[in-house]
Amino acid sequence: MNPAAVLRVARLDLTLLWRNRTALFTVVGLPVLFAGMLVPMRGQEIDGVDGALLQGTGHLGFFLVFAVFMNLVNVFTARREDRTLKRLRGTALTDAEITGGSILTATAMYAVQALALLAVLGAAMGGRLPADPVLVLAGLAGGVAVFATLAFAVSGITPNAELAQLTVLPIMFGCMLGAGVMFPMDGLPEWLQRICWFVPLSPVVEIVRTGYFGQDFVHGAGHASLAFGEGWLACVRSFLVLIFWAALGRALATRWFRWEPRHA
């Protein structure tokens, strides 16, 4: 894989994203909307921390669903069906360069959102600098890997770009409701909580909150304060779930992803 070639594909992706208003809204508009929803939560204490910050750190993970997951499902489905993937594949670019360029653009868009959200949390919501920025970054990077591979897999079973609005919904709603983005999971019955551990976004949210607040957001209520470095230990289960989803996503992507329409 030639990094320069990946960058050139990413530049093409960025140009196309800019020209496509619907896609641009998914990547830029929806996050702004969600960030606006934080304002009324400000000052309300939930789960021992400020409500705006709790939801804000949840959104930090949840934005992966817009910028990486939904965006890439759209990109790969639309390009497969209009045969532009096939055309790209007819050039000297390798498969990894073609897909890598799109993932890079999606990741860059996500990174911009994440930084902007962190800045908003810090400046307007009484937030702080993350207690363990490296842990936060590791959780988000793992999240990018998981949602990119899931996007490959889901695009493979999405017949066309219009239906991409539907096929992303199960994972989108699952992540919105089951990963503790909006409200803490502690009130749920024990068995349901355990199921929610395995929602693909859950480990991301757990790791991000643990790294941001410097408290244990993996093991139930209470959220004990952690010394620097202890967050990684607290997040072992979360990282294992992330690895599980990355492996499963990869296996499904290998099975389902297609470069050309089924009836070419």
Partner 1 sequence: METNVETSAAVRVDGLRQRYGDFEAVAGISFDVAAGELFALLGTNGAGKTTTMETLEGHRAVHEGTVRVLGHDPHRERRRVRPRIGIMLQDGGFFADLTVAETVEHWRGFTPAARGRDEAIGMAGLAEKAGVRVRQLSGGQKRRLDLALALLGRPAVLFLDEPTSGMDPEARRETWRTVRDVVAGGTTVLLTTHYLEEAEHLADRLAILHRGRIEASGTVGEVVAGHGDRITFRLPERLRVAELPELSGARADISVDGGHTVATYTVNDVGLQAGLYALLRWADEQDVRLDGLRARSASLEDVFLRTAEGATR
Least Å distance, CB 208 to partner 1, is 35
CA 79 to chain centre: 21
C-beta separation of 117 from 36 below 8 A: no
Q: With binding defined as CB under 8 A, does residue 9 bind partner 1?
A: yes
* Residues 76-95, interacting with partner 1 (CB under 8 A): 79, 82-84, 86-94
Angle at Cα 91 formed by Cα 86 and Cα 94, nearest 5°? 85
**Segment near partner 1 (CB under 8 A), from 3-11, 25-33, 210-218, 222-230?**
3-11
- x/- mask, partner 1, residues 164-183, rule CB under 8 A, reads --------------------
Query: Binder to partner 1 among 5, 60, 135, 179 (CB under 8 A)?
Result: 5
Nearer to partner 1, 91 or 254 (CB): 91
Minimal distance in Å, beta carbon 102 to partner 1?
A: 13
> Within the chain, how many helices (H) and strands (E) appear?
14, 2
CB of 82 to partner 1, least distance (A): 4
C-alpha to C-alpha distance for 63 and 22, rounded to whole angstroms = 16
Nearest residue to 16 (alpha-carbon basis) of 90, 110, 109, 92? 109
Pairing between β-strand 45-46 and β-strand 49-50 as defined by DSSP bridges: antiparallel
Could you tell me which of 78, 74, 82, 75 has the C-alpha nearest to residue 101?
Answer: 75
Q: Which of residues 235-264 bind partner 1 (CB under 8 A)?
A: 259-260, 264
Residues that bind partner 1 (CB under 8 A): 5, 8-9, 11-12, 15-16, 19-20, 79, 82-84, 86-94, 259-260, 264
